[in-house]
Amino acid sequence: MASMRLAGVASGFIDGVPYDIIETRYSPSKYTRETLKGQNGIHGFSEMPQQARIVMSIRDAGGMTVADFSDMSDVEVQLSLANGKTVGGAGMWCTEAVEVNTVEATMEVTFEGKQVTETLAS
Protein backbone atom coordinates (compact mmCIF):
# COMPACT_ATOMS: atom_id res chain seq x y z
CA MET A 1 0.00 0.00 0.00
CA ALA A 2 1.35 3.43 -0.96
CA SER A 3 2.07 5.97 1.74
CA MET A 4 -0.52 8.71 2.25
CA ARG A 5 2.19 11.14 3.41
CA LEU A 6 2.28 14.07 1.01
CA ALA A 7 4.15 16.81 2.85
CA GLY A 8 6.37 17.49 5.82
CA VAL A 9 9.69 15.75 6.28
CA ALA A 10 12.39 16.71 3.75
CA SER A 11 16.13 16.42 3.33
CA GLY A 12 18.38 18.82 1.42
CA PHE A 13 21.90 18.39 0.08
CA ILE A 14 24.39 20.65 -1.71
CA ASP A 15 27.16 18.68 -3.42
CA GLY A 16 26.22 15.73 -1.20
CA VAL A 17 26.55 17.68 2.05
CA PRO A 18 23.35 17.55 4.16
CA TYR A 19 21.85 20.75 5.58
CA ASP A 20 19.23 21.30 8.29
CA ILE A 21 16.14 22.19 6.24
CA ILE A 22 13.42 24.39 7.69
CA GLU A 23 11.44 24.83 4.48
CA THR A 24 12.10 24.47 0.78
CA ARG A 25 10.55 25.49 -2.54
CA TYR A 26 11.40 24.59 -6.11
CA SER A 27 10.40 25.50 -9.64
CA PRO A 28 11.16 23.23 -12.60
CA SER A 29 9.52 25.72 -14.99
CA LYS A 30 11.23 26.01 -18.37
CA TYR A 31 9.45 29.05 -19.80
CA THR A 32 7.63 32.23 -18.86
CA ARG A 33 4.78 33.28 -21.08
CA GLU A 34 3.25 36.69 -21.49
CA THR A 35 -0.07 37.32 -23.16
CA LEU A 36 0.17 39.64 -26.16
CA LYS A 37 -2.92 41.77 -26.48
CA GLY A 38 -4.00 44.72 -28.52
CA GLN A 39 -6.95 47.02 -28.74
CA ASN A 40 -8.81 44.52 -30.88
CA GLY A 41 -8.26 41.48 -28.63
CA ILE A 42 -5.79 38.78 -27.65
CA HIS A 43 -3.13 38.18 -30.31
CA GLY A 44 -1.26 35.28 -28.71
CA PHE A 45 1.70 35.03 -26.37
CA SER A 46 5.45 35.43 -26.17
CA GLU A 47 7.66 32.78 -24.61
CA MET A 48 11.08 33.23 -23.00
CA PRO A 49 13.37 30.75 -21.24
CA GLN A 50 13.02 30.64 -17.45
CA GLN A 51 15.74 29.54 -15.06
CA ALA A 52 14.93 26.64 -12.76
CA ARG A 53 15.12 27.34 -9.04
CA ILE A 54 15.55 25.59 -5.69
CA VAL A 55 15.17 27.71 -2.54
CA MET A 56 16.03 26.36 0.89
CA SER A 57 15.54 27.94 4.29
CA ILE A 58 18.23 26.32 6.39
CA ARG A 59 19.59 26.53 9.92
CA ASP A 60 22.95 28.24 10.41
CA ALA A 61 24.91 25.44 12.06
CA GLY A 62 28.05 26.33 14.01
CA GLY A 63 30.29 24.24 11.75
CA MET A 64 29.57 26.07 8.48
CA THR A 65 30.71 29.36 6.99
CA VAL A 66 27.82 31.40 5.62
CA ALA A 67 30.10 33.38 3.27
CA ASP A 68 30.90 30.13 1.41
CA PHE A 69 27.43 30.12 -0.15
CA SER A 70 28.21 33.16 -2.31
CA ASP A 71 31.12 31.20 -3.81
CA MET A 72 28.89 28.25 -4.77
CA SER A 73 28.56 27.75 -8.51
CA ASP A 74 28.36 24.55 -10.55
CA VAL A 75 26.93 22.66 -7.56
CA GLU A 76 24.43 19.84 -7.34
CA VAL A 77 21.38 20.59 -5.20
CA GLN A 78 19.05 17.75 -4.22
CA LEU A 79 15.88 17.46 -2.17
CA SER A 80 14.21 14.31 -0.86
CA LEU A 81 10.56 15.08 -0.19
CA ALA A 82 8.01 13.49 2.15
CA ASN A 83 5.92 12.24 -0.78
CA GLY A 84 8.86 10.12 -2.00
CA LYS A 85 9.79 12.46 -4.84
CA THR A 86 13.41 13.48 -5.44
CA VAL A 87 14.05 16.96 -6.85
CA GLY A 88 17.44 18.05 -8.07
CA GLY A 89 19.55 20.23 -10.28
CA ALA A 90 23.17 20.02 -11.44
CA GLY A 91 25.40 22.92 -12.43
CA MET A 92 23.43 25.30 -10.21
CA TRP A 93 24.66 28.59 -8.76
CA CYS A 94 23.77 30.60 -5.64
CA THR A 95 22.07 33.79 -6.84
CA GLU A 96 21.40 35.95 -3.82
CA ALA A 97 23.42 37.30 -0.95
CA VAL A 98 22.76 35.13 2.07
CA GLU A 99 21.46 36.96 5.11
CA VAL A 100 21.25 35.26 8.50
CA ASN A 101 18.49 35.85 11.03
CA THR A 102 20.46 35.42 14.25
CA VAL A 103 17.36 35.20 16.47
CA GLU A 104 16.36 31.93 14.81
CA ALA A 105 19.75 31.03 13.22
CA THR A 106 18.02 30.79 9.83
CA MET A 107 18.86 31.83 6.28
CA GLU A 108 17.38 31.46 2.84
CA VAL A 109 19.63 30.16 0.06
CA THR A 110 18.53 30.42 -3.60
CA PHE A 111 20.04 28.28 -6.34
CA GLU A 112 19.24 28.69 -10.02
CA GLY A 113 20.24 26.74 -13.09
CA LYS A 114 19.17 25.46 -16.47
CA GLN A 115 17.08 22.57 -15.22
CA VAL A 116 15.48 21.11 -12.10
CA THR A 117 14.20 17.55 -12.48
CA GLU A 118 11.59 15.67 -10.51
CA THR A 119 11.96 11.93 -10.00
CA LEU A 120 8.66 10.38 -8.98
CA ALA A 121 8.29 8.07 -6.01
CA SER A 122 8.52 4.42 -6.95
Domain boundaries, the chain: 11-119
pTM of the model: 0.84
Closest CA to 15 of 120, 100, 115, 111: 111
Q: With bands split at pLDDT 50, 70 and 90, how would you rate the model's confidence at 67? A: confident
Per-residue model confidence (pLDDT) at position 34: 96
Report the pLDDT value the prediction gives residue 4, as an integer from 0 to 100.
76
- pLDDT at 3 exceeding the cut of 80: no
Burial class (CB in 10 A: 0-12, 13-18, 19+), 60: middle
Write the CATH number of the domain with boundaries 11-119. Answer: 2.40.30
Element (H, E) at 92: strand 86-94
d(CA 115, CA 99): 25
Mean pLDDT value across residues 81-102: 90
Please check whether residue 76 is in contact with residue 15, taking contact to mean a CB–CB distance below 8 angstroms.
Answer: yes
Q: Give 17-66 pLDDT, tens digit per residue.
A: 999 999 999 999 899 999 999 999 999 999 999 999 999 999 988 788 88
| pLDDT above 90: percentage of residues in the chain | 66
Contact 110, 55 (CB under 8 A): yes
pLDDT band for position 2 (50/70/90)?
low
